Amino acid sequence: MAMGMLPLRFLTPQRLLWASVMAAVVTIVIKTAAWSITGSVGLLSDAMESLVNLASAAFALLMVTIAKRPADAAHPYGHSKAEYFSSGFEGILIIGAAGAILWAAGHRLLDPQPLTEVGLGLALSVLSSLINGLLAWVMLRAAAIHRSVALQADARHLLTDVWTSAGVVVGVGLVAVTGWLWLDAVVAIGVALNILREGGRLVWRSSQGLMDEALEPEVLAQIQATLHEFDHPTIRFDHLSTRQSGQRRFLDLHMHMPASWTLGRAAAVRASVEQALMSAVPGLRATIQLLPSDVEAHFGDADDLI
């Protein structure tokens, strides 16, 4: 298992985003050639989405580079939230591309044009899909390991591109078989609506991250299980709050213990709890405030209790 994970750990978000930039350049050339050969507005819409892929991957690369910067006096929690800007920017670009595709498809729907060299054009489209599909598969697996929002967003966009290309291939193939020229424009409209949905999802995901969304339920369960390992009649935990920021995860909570304990003993127990939490949840920064058992902290919100 560890050997299988090693190559993906070596493939850092920066390396994979550089690969995404290069793949976007290659697929732009291939898809533009396919559109030029056939004259299909469906294939044109596919090529336009690859232009968005290039801009998105380049911006994601910039944001991931910024996110890796260490904490400083102006940014004591680091720069990891930069990845959410990448995800939101990519979503906005996708929505813009969908609008452009709808505009081009609307004109072609009113004025259908015959297609040429359909076989060669579709072969080129399939080739570009294979490139994007393989890269997206690797990026999604690496995104889970590195917990990179920007990498995940770019991978999902590439997968959307693959499904888009598949739809275009089927649609343009049907145009060639049936002679229904209007179907080319309908396929382009379907492409636009599909990527519009994906763009909206990326913008929403980005907005949730920028608003300090809590950790995922499965991670919270892991935190609770770790705290239960320290269950003791003299120790209790409350006022647990979490947030995530790109690859980083943050946890704040109170730990109550007997007032008779020495500061050294209390600090040693706290250090053990913090170490256990950070070992159980990769990328976690745990901050624990010590309080005597008979002291309660009230923030006016009943929902912040465990």
Q: Which residues of 80-91 are buried (b: 16+ CB within 10 A; e: fewer)?
A: bbbbbbbbbbbb
Residues 191 and 228 in one domain: no
Between 66-70, 149-153, 302-306, the lowest mean confidence (pLDDT) is in 302-306
Query: Could you tell me the residue range of the domain that residue 173 belongs to?
Result: 2-210
Residues 232 and 106 in one domain: no
What does the pLDDT read at residue 305? 41
Residues 181 and 278 in one domain: no
Picking from 193, 205, 207, the residue whose alpha carbon sits closest to that of residue 153 is 205
The better pLDDT of the pair 89, 247 is held by 89
What does the pLDDT read at residue 26? 92
Number of domains in the chain: 2
The better pLDDT of the pair 127, 186 is held by 127
SS3 category, 250: strand
The pair of three-digit structure tokens given for residue 163, joined into one six-digit string: 């499904």
Q: Compute the average pLDDT of residues 14-20.
A: 86
Confidence label for 306 from pLDDT (cuts 50, 70 and 90)? very low
Residues 245 and 225 in one domain: yes
Mean pLDDT of the chain: 79
Residues 109 and 125 in one domain: yes
Query: Is 45 within 8 Å of 191 (Cβ atoms)?
Result: yes
Confidence label for 212 from pLDDT (cuts 50, 70 and 90)? low
C-alpha–C-alpha distance, residues 82 and 116, integer Å? 45
Q: Is the pLDDT of residue 4 over 50?
A: no
Q: What is the CATH number of the domain that holds 126?
A: 1.20.1510.10
Q: What is the CATH number of the domain that holds 240?
A: 3.30.70.1350
Q: Is the pLDDT of residue 302 over 50?
A: no
